[in-house]
Amino acid sequence: YFEKAMQQFEKQPKIDYPFMIRTLQDYARTIASENQKLANSLLVRAKAMTYHLPGKKEQLRQRAVIETQQGIILTLEGRVEEAEAMYKSALENAK
Q: pTM of this prediction?
A: 0.74
Distances 43 to 16, 38, 83, 89 between C-alpha atoms, Å: 17, 9, 14, 15
Distances 2 to 5, 6, 8, 46 between C-alpha atoms, Å: 5, 6, 10, 15
C-alpha 38/C-alpha 6 separation (Å) is 12
With a CB cutoff of 8 Å and minimum separation 6, the contacts of 31 are: 38, 39, 42
Note the pLDDT tens digit of each residue in 45-91: 889 888 888 889 989 999 999 999 899 888 888 889 999 999 999 99
